[in-house]
Structure 1
Amino acid sequence: MMGIRAFLIAVLGALLLLHFLKQRWSRRHYPPGPLSLPLIGNIWRMGFRFTDDTLLKLAKQYGSIFTLWLGYQPLIVMSGYQAVKEALIDHSDEFADRPVTSYIKFIGKNKGIVLSNGHTWKQQRRFGLVTLRKLGLGKTGLEHRVEEEAQQLVETFARSKGQPLDPSFALNNAISNVICGLSFGHRFSLEDKEFQKLIEAIHDSLAVSTTSSYLLYEIFPSIMKHLPGPHQKAFSARDTVLSLAKKEIEEHKVQKSFHDPQDYIDFYLLKMEKHQRKNEPNSTYNDENLAQSIHDLFIAGTDTAATTMQWALLLLTNHPDVQDKAYKEIEDVLSSSSSICYQDKKKLPYVNAVIHEIQRSKYVLYFGLPRQPTKDVKINGLTIPKGVMIFPDLRSVLVDPEHWETPEKFNPNHFLDKDGNFMAREEFLAFGAGARVCLGELLAKVDLFIFLTCLLRNFKFQLPEGVKELNEESIIGVTRHPHPYKICAIPRCSPSQS
C-alpha cells in the first residue's frame, strides 16, 4: 500500500514538474521577470503586498521591461522614461487599447470612455474632448464652477478657526461637486443623501482594485461572480453611480435644456438628437454610453484630484519655506486682484512649479491605467505580444534618476530654470501620454491651481501643537493616499478676499 502511495506521489510530482517546464518554455518569448508558480504566478515575489518601491526594485533586477504573472495572465511592466515613452508616444496607436479582462469586461461593458475600445472609444473620447473644451475656461464655464467650490472650501476651512482639521472630507466634496456641475449643471449640498451615496460609491468602486477579491475575480470569474466580497460591493457602487447619472439624464430630457447646452449631458443629448435625425448607422450616442461616460468622469477624476490636494497641503505644511515663498509670489503678483483665474498661473512661475512638483513627487496612481497592444510590437529588442496587458509605470518616469536631479525629494526647482522661470519638462507624464492621455487633464489642472492658490492666499498651514512632522509615506491602493493627518489652517485675512 505504501509503495502505491509513493508511486502516485512520484507520478504527481513528475507531472507538476513537466507542467512547470512546459509553462517556462511557452513563456520564453516574453520579457524576463521573476519566477512564476502555477496558479498564483508572481504574487509570492511581491510578498503578497505592494510597497512604493516594489516595481522600481524589480526594474533594477530584470530591466526596464519585465513580465509579471497574475495566475496565467501576463502583465508586462514598462519602467523608466525611455521605455514608457517608446511605448506610449512612439507607438501610440499600437498601444491605444484597454485590456479586456474578466473584471474590466464586467465593469466597463465596452461603453463610455475609459474602458472601451474600437469605434465606441474613438467616438466617445472625441466627443468628450470637444465638449470639455466647450465647457472649459472663462467665467461661464468650468473655471467658474471651480472658483465657486474654492470659495466653499475656504469657508469650510475658516470654520475650523485655526484648530486642527482633517482636510480630506472637504477636499473630496469640493472635487466631486466640480464634476457634478460639469456633468449635471448643478452642485449638491453636502447634506444631500444622493450626494453622500455618490461619494461612498466612488470610494467603493476604487477600493476593490488592490484586494485579493479583485485578483481572484480575474483568475476565477465564473466562481467569484457568485461569491460575496469587495468585488460585489464595487459592482453595486457602479450601479449606484449609473443610476444617479440616468436619473439626471431623464430630468434633462424632460426639461429639454439641451437646446441651450450648459453641461455635459446637454451637449450629449443634443448630439444624440442630431445623429437620430440623420439616422447615422454607426452612431454610439445613446443613454448607456452617456451614463457610463459620466461614471468614468467621476471615478477617474474625483479620487485622483482630491488625493493630489491632500498631498499638496501635507507637503506645504511640512515645507513651510516653500509655502511662504509661494504665498509671497501670489501676494506680490495678485495683490490688486479680488479673484484668481487659471490664466494667472502664467504670472506665478514658482506656484506653477510647486504644483507640478507635488504631482511628480507624490504621483497618485500606483500604476498608469493598463494598455493592450493591437499587434506585436518590438521595443528595446523585446517582443510585446498582441493582446497582452501592459502597465506603463508612470511613477517610475517621475522618479527616473536619469532625468530628475533629486528624484526622491520634494524640490520645486525641478521645474524652474536658473532665472526662476517655469520650465516645462517632457519627462513630466503625470497625465499619461499618447492616444489615451488623460481626458480630464485640463479639469485637473484648473482644480489644482485655483484650489491651492485660493487656500494659500487665505491660510497659513501649520502643524498642530506637539506634531513635529506629517508622515510622507504612502498608503498603497489604486491611488497612493497619504496617511490620515490634521493641520491647522491659520487665517491670513478675510476669506471673502478669495
Structure 2
Amino acid sequence: MLVEVILFVLLTALGLYVLTRENLPDNVPKCPRRFPFLGCFDFVLYASDMRRLRDKYGDIFMMKFGTQYMVYLCNYPLVKEAFSSPHVTDRPHFEFSLFITDGAPAGVIMTNGEQWTYLRKFLLRQMSDLGMGKSYMEDALMHEARKLANDFGRLVGKPAKFPKSLDICVLNIVWSLVANKAYEYDDKKILDIMSLVRKVSDVVGGLVLPDLFPIIKYLPHFIRRHILKEQLVDELKKKLINFTKENIDEHRVNLDRDNPLDLIDRYLIEMDEQKKNPNISQFLSDEDLATTIFDLFGGGFNATSNTLRWLIYYIAAHPEVQRKLHEEIDAVIDVDAEISLNHKESLPYLEATIYETHRCSSLVTGGIPHQASKDIQLGGHTVPKVIKHFLYN
C-alpha cells in the first residue's frame, strides 16, 4: 500500500512538472514568484502597484496571470525600441476580444499578418477619401460642436454629471464616416447601443478568464455561465450583431456603386469586387465588417469622448488655464467667427493644453497588447514570442 501511495505521489509530481515546465531563456525579464496554473500573486490592480513593481524589478519586467506571461515596458526608450521592430506588430489571440465572431480573427485591431495589413491600408485609404482629417469635415464638426455647446448651456451654474450629449456628439462624427448617419441626443436607439458598448467593458473581466485559466472552459455549464456572465455576454452579442446587421442590410439594399456615401458602402463594394480573388476575399465578410465597426467605435468614439472628459475635468480644476485659453482664443478669433483648422498654428496654448491632457490622463493605461512574431532582444533581455507586451506610462 505504501509503495502504491509513493508511486502515485511521484507520478502526480512528475505530471505536474511536465505540465508546468517552462522553457524560458535564462535572461528573460525579472518576474515575481509564480505558482503553477495560478501565476503571480503580486497582482497589478492599481497604478500604485505598477509603480511599486517598476521600482522593484526595473523598467522591463514580466508578470504571469494564470498560464499567460506578459511583459511590461515602463519607459519611453524601451517602448520606442520595441515598436521600432517589425516583429512586435502582432496581436495576441485573446478570445474575449473577438467574442462577436466567436474567436475568429476579424476587424483591424486584433488581427495579424496579411489580414491586418490589407484591412489597415483599406481603412486608411477609405477614411481619408471620406474626409477624415480634411478641412471639408469642418462643417459636420462645427454643427455637432454648436449642438453640444447649446446642450452644455443647460448646466451652467450647477453641479452635474457629463450629459449623454457628449458621447453622442463624438459618436455622430465617427458614425457620419462609417454609416452616413447622425442621431439626436434623445434618440432611444443610439442611447441603448451606447449603453451596450459601455456594458461590454464591464464584462471584459469575465471574458478574459478562459484565456488566462483554460481549465475554466471545462467546468460544468452552470458554473461557467455564472463566472463568465455568459447570459449577459450572449445578450450583448445578440443586440450588437442585430444593430450592425440592420445597418449593413440597409446599406446593401440602397447601395449606389457610383456614389458610395460612407465606409459601409465602400466595404460592400470592395467585398463584391474581390470575390474572385481568394487571397483577399477571405478577409472580407459581414462579420469582419461588424467587428471593424466596433473597432472604430472603440478607437474613435471612446478615446475621443474620454479625452474631452479629462480635458474638461482638468480645466475645471485649473481656472487659470481656462482664462489663458479664453484670452488666446479672443485674441485670434473675432467674436462672431468660429474656430477652424486654419487657426491651429495661431493657438499654441490651446494645442499644448490638448497634448497635456493626453500626457496626464489615463485613456488607455496599459495600451493594446502586442505579441512578437519571433524571439526578440529588448532592454538587454530575451523576450520569447509567446509573451504578450503591455505598455505602462
TM-score range, shorter chain: 0.7 to 0.9
- Aligned residue number for residue 328 of structure 2: 329
- Aligned residue number for residue 103 of structure 1: 96
More helix per residue: 2
CA-based RMSD: 2.9
User: Following superposition of structure 1 onto structure 2, how do residues 305-384 of structure 1 map, counting pairs within 5 Å?
Assistant: 305-335=304-334, 338-384=337-383
Match of 2:178 among 180, 183, 186: 183
Which runs of 5 or more structure 1 residues have no equivalent in the other structure?
A: 397-498
Question: Per-residue displacement from partner, 1:405-453 (whole Å, max 9, x unpaired)?
Answer: xxxxxxxxxxxxxxxxxxxxxxxxxxxxxxxxxxxxxxxxxxxxxxxxx
Cα displacement (A) at 1:96: 1.1
8 Å contact 2:310–2:361 — kept in the other structure? yes
Match of 1:39 among 14, 27, 37: 37
8 Å contact 1:56–1:79 — kept in the other structure? no
Residue 62 of structure 1 aligns with an amino acid whose one-letter code is: Y
SS at match of 1:94: helix
Cα displacement (A) at 1:16: 6.3
User: Following superposition of structure 1 onto structure 2, how do residues 219-234 of structure 1 map, counting pairs within 5 Å?
Assistant: 219-220=213-214, 221-223=216-218, 226-229=224-227, 231-232=229-230, 233-234=232-233
1:280 aligns with 2:277: yes
Cα displacement (A) at 1:222: 1.7
User: Following superposition of structure 1 onto structure 2, how do residues 103-252 of structure 1 map, counting pairs within 5 Å?
Assistant: 103-107=96-100, 109-135=104-130, 136-138=132-134, 140-141=136-137, 143-167=138-162, 169-209=164-204, 211=205, 214-216=208-210, 218-220=212-214, 221-223=216-218, 226-229=224-227, 231-232=229-230, 233-252=232-251
- How far apart, in 2, do the equivalents of 1:310 and 1:234 lie? 28
- How far apart, in 1, do the equivalents of 2:274 and 2:12 lie? 59
SS at match of 2:69: strand
- TM (norm. structure 2) is 0.87
Question: Per-residue displacement from partner, 1:155-188 (whole Å, max 9, x unpaired)?
Answer: 1111224322212533222222222222110112
- TM (norm. structure 1) is 0.70
Rate the CA distance shift 1:352–1:337 in 2: closer, same or farther, 3 A: farther
- Larger displacement relative to structure 2 (191-200 or 312-321): 191-200
8 Å contact 1:103–1:218 — kept in the other structure? no
- How far apart, in 2, do the equivalents of 1:21 and 1:249 lie? 50
- How far apart, in 1, do the equivalents of 2:140 and 2:37 lie? 50
8 Å contact 1:201–1:238 — kept in the other structure? no
Residue 279 of structure 2 aligns with an amino acid whose one-letter code is: N
- How far apart, in 2, do the equivalents of 1:256 and 1:26 lie? 54
SS at match of 1:164: coil
* Equivalent residues, number: 381
8 Å contact 2:368–2:390 — kept in the other structure? yes
Residue 59 of structure 2 aligns with an amino acid whose one-letter code is: S
Cα displacement (A) at 1:357: 0.3
Rate the CA distance shift 1:350–1:262 in 2: closer, same or farther, 3 A: same
Rate the CA distance shift 1:194–1:363 in 2: closer, same or farther, 3 A: same
- How far apart, in 2, do the equivalents of 1:239 and 1:144 lie? 35
Residue 121 of structure 1 aligns with an amino acid whose one-letter code is: W
Rate the CA distance shift 1:323–1:223 in 2: closer, same or farther, 3 A: farther
Question: Per-residue displacement from partner, 1:275-301 (whole Å, max 9, x unpaired)?
Answer: 24xx22212233222221111111232
8 Å contact 1:76–1:388 — kept in the other structure? yes
SS at match of 2:62: strand
Which runs of 5 or more structure 2 residues have no equivalent in the other structure?
A: none
Question: Per-residue displacement from partner, 1:234-277 (whole Å, max 9, x unpaired)?
Answer: 4543443332222111111211234212211122223233324x
Question: Per-residue displacement from partner, 1:120-176 (whole Å, max 9, x unpaired)?
Answer: 2111111111112122244643x3332222112111111224322212533222222
Rate the CA distance shift 1:8–1:64 in 2: closer, same or farther, 3 A: farther
Cα displacement (A) at 1:361: 0.6
SS at match of 1:346: helix
- How far apart, in 1, do the equivalents of 2:186 and 2:108 lie? 30
SS at match of 1:301: helix
- Aligned residue number for residue 424 of structure 1: none
SS at match of 2:389: strand
- Larger displacement relative to structure 2 (226-235 or 236-245): 226-235
SS at match of 2:34: coil
